[in-house]
Structure 1
Amino acid sequence: IEESQAEEAAMADATPYAAQGHRVTYGLIGVNILVFLLMAFTGANLLAPSGEDLIRWGANYLPYTLGGEPWRLFTACFVHIGILHLLLNMYALFQQGIFLESVLGRTRLLTAYIATGLISSLTSLWWHRNDMVVSAGASGAIFGLFGVFGALLTSKLLPDSVRKQLLGSIGAVIVINLLYGLKAGIDNSAHVGGLVSGFIIGQLFLPGLKKKQRGAARISTAIVLAAVIACGSYVALHPDSRLQFETALEQFPAHEAKGLQPFGHDTTVVALIGELDAAQVHWDSARTLLRRTGNLRLSDADVRRRNLLEQYTELRAQQNRLARRQLLGEEGAADSLNALDTAIDKVLQQ
């Protein structure tokens, strides 16, 4: 009995925040559920939301995240890929959050979730830097809490009997989940990033926990700030211009359609000359549009696309000018037009 009472006293000593309740845990679960419900109400599939829906709601997608939307590193931690994904993650968050909030307190728990969530998203971004992967879910942050748990279990903060029991069960859960994460379609890189960063953050929490220091604001602020700086530095040093490039290219078909409008219908010579003059403005605009993308950092494939579009635009502009000269009776314009038609066909075939 005395041994049991001593263990209970040690456990109570290790969970000084138990009386404060579990507002952060329930709050995080509530936010995750709310985001999913909003997704569903706006038309996202409950079982398997489309990539477009996930991206619209803030999933981590490299061309967008590194293309001017770095906030996705944070919002991705609250977006889930179907109701099963949500339920599994919320169950894991509930199981860990209830215990950890009693040990760490609200501030440290919230810090761990946010900081490891950011680092797990950043790890995913780095790991999939050459892929087009849409990453979302709270699992990176949840693995971060596993890491914090691991740090606690390496200390004498918890009673030995509890620590040994948790070490076996938590270790087994981590190994099983990491092995399951090797399955296609699961972003294991985020799990590993969250786990490692969580362990480091847990170690940073330990001195204050051992000294029974209630104030965690300073270390928590430093940890979140470090995570934000790490994310901001990576985003700043690795800009991705694909989104800007694709946005610019979305305007090209409209200029092309206007530029080709004079061809393919019967009209008077005077009217056609006027149409060719108007079309020339659109080919000039298309050329300016493409030149503005010249300073963007693009992949070799996108550079080739831009070069081909520039060649095509220049040939069409020349075709437009020659057609006008032919209408005005200039000799040799017809032969030059035939040669241009051949050159345009070659570019289109590429």
Structure 2
Amino acid sequence: MSLIRRVRGNSRDPRPAVVSGFTIGTLFFLCGLYTFFTILLPTPPGFRVGAVSLIGLTGVLSGPVLMALPWARLPNAARLAIAPVAMALIAVHNMAAGVDPFRYGMFFFLVFVWFGLCEPRGTSLRMSPFLVVAYLVPLMMRDASASDLASLSYTFPLYLTVGELLAWRTNRLRQLQEGLQRLADHDSLTGLPNRAAFTAALRERCAGPDPVAVLFLDLDGFKQINDRLGHATGDDVLIQVAGVLATVARPCRDVPGRLAGDEFVMLLPGTSEAEAEAIAERVVRRLGDLRTPDGTPVRGSAGIAAGHHIAAEQLLAQADQAMYAAKQRRRSQMPAGSPVSAA
């Protein structure tokens, strides 16, 4: 899980659940409409118009309800519980529509398309026992022929294959999408959130009711490290600094980021100025433990800014100014690593 998502307090991405719930609701509604349409088509013996109409009405009315449910807040089990209900409704439809496995089998197919497009891999396999029961019971109750019963031998593997292949493909596409999103939100060298992602998280926190603090860190003498030891060493120093920030950051709360070059930041939600100063001191102190290959210590200047109901850009600018003040104090031979705050 990304640092940006952690600071927002999300334990999981709600979008797949919402899409899945909306999809099954849409399928209920469309299948209900189609059930009404089948009444106008040539029908097999035993087709009961009243019962089929009631099933169609159930689908049409259930669809909008399922689409509107707050799937992002409901457990996955609640959503998957719809699958046995849907298969039971298909079985009832089959008994009311004349027990024709070739006619109602396509409704089962749509259920497994839903599994493949919206649910994790393995869902089709876990739901297969419900398929076997819902498929065979109507046929057995009407003393269907051996040929009709044997139709499960090819519909069953067909449904599972489609469901699992679609799920594999959907999962692969989701991984690629998440990879592209990570590239867009994170610095490629250090893996920390980049300027755009950090600013978005900062704006979100600044819009809330809790106090917010920002730590702004700039390395001292980084250009000399690059010039003397090369950019590969400079990159290694930046990666080590990112590691320090990630270590100091409080889990599931703080968001360290890299703005550009040797400029780093850390979002400190719900943090007072005094707490932010203590964190800044820890960061500067741990930087002092880092060394370049020739033994040169890595040093940095940190500034913090904190406040309530303040614009994100203003808070970041104040932390930047505090960092420059800290750098000037260092140059004036003040104790190394003393952070300067701006409220």
Query: Fold-level match, TM-score > 0.5?
Result: no
Structure with the larger helix share: 1
TM-score normalized with structure 1 length = 0.27
Structure with the larger strand share: 2
TM-score normalized with structure 2 length = 0.28
